[in-house]
Every structure is written in C-alpha cells, then in structure tokens.
Amino acid sequence: MKRALFIFGFLITISMGNSYAQKYALIDMEYMLKKIPAYESANKQLESLSQEWQKEVDQEVGTVNALYKKYQADLVFLAGSEKTKRENEIVTKENAIQELRNRYFGPQGALFSQQEKLIKPIQDSIYETIKEIATEQGYALVVDRASATSVIFASPSIDISDLVLARLGY
C-alpha cells in the first residue's frame, strides 16, 4: 500500500513538473520589419502622403494667419458688423482646418486607412507565422523584445525572429 501510494505521488509530481515546464520565445518586431522590403516601401509611401497632406494643412494655416494679421491691422477701422463678419470668417477657416486635419490624420482619417491598407497585411502575416511556429514548437508565450520595456536580458537562443523571417521568405 505504501509502495503504491509512493508511486502514485511520484507520478503526480512528474506530471505536474512537466505541465509547468513551459517554453518561451522572443521576437524583435523592429528588426523583422526592417528586413521586410514591402514594409519599408509602405512606410516611405505613408511618409510621402503625410508630408503632402501636412503641406496642405500648413498652407491653410498660413492663410488663416494672414487673415488674422490683416484683421488685427484693420481692427481700428472696422465697424461692428464688419468686425464680426471677419471674426466669423477666421473662425470658419480655423474649423475647416481642424476638419482637414481630422480627415487626414484623425483616428478614422486617410492616413489611418492607408496604414490599414499597406501595413496591416504585413503585420498580420508576421503574426500568423509567429502563431504557427509557437504552436508547432510548443511555445506558451512569445514576447516582442522591441516593445517589452521590462525585458532586461534575454538569451539570443530563444529569439525566433530569424526563423519567422525565413518562414516568410526573407
């Protein structure tokens, strides 16, 4: 009886030890993205669009600033109704600028849409590849070294970034 109880306890200890032995892996998303030409190309395209749209916004801001300076210079000569008319014109243009900024750079703006269109498919393919590798090799957790600020040191032997890139064909 003691022997059977000892063997049962021993088997439970072994099975518990195996169930708690989890494998971990690291990736470096920044490193991987730099190695993918499509990502670099998409980033350049987004940067170009962003600069183009920012120039348009800056031109509108310049127009409003010129209107405001002219308003300030003419303020002494303006009657009440003309003064109100110019103030309303400036406020209307400022609101239009804010709408333009939101249309281009807002949470539902054109820049966000372009990022979704150009970058999200790349990120999704990386994620799916990481998920496949983690499932195949039994990793319980995969941590992104680039975004994990609390990782002080990690052995390069658990970094699977190059494996992910190879699987993606880079």
CB 93, CB 63: distance < 8 Å: yes
Coil, strand or helix at 159:
strand
The model's pLDDT over 12-63, given as tens digits with 9 standing for 90+, comes to 555 555 555 689 999 999 999 999 999 999 999 999 999 999 999 999 999 9
CB 23, CB 155: distance < 8 Å: no
Give the model's pLDDT for residue 5: 46
Give the model's pLDDT for residue 16: 54
Give the model's pLDDT for residue 12: 58
Distance CA 96, CA 102 (A): 10
Please name the residues in contact with 46: beta carbons below 8 A apart, sequence gap of 6 or more. Answer: 111, 114, 115, 118, 119
Tell me which amino acid residue 74 is.
D
CB 29, CB 126: distance < 8 Å: yes
Cβ density class 95-117: b for 16+ within 10 Å, e for less = eebeebbeebeeeebebeebbee
- On average, the pLDDT of the chain sits at 88
Sign of the C-alpha dihedral, residues 30, 32, 35, 36?
A: negative
The model's pLDDT over 132-163, given as tens digits with 9 standing for 90+, comes to 999 999 999 999 988 877 778 888 889 999 99
Sign of the C-alpha dihedral, residues 156, 162, 118, 53?
A: positive
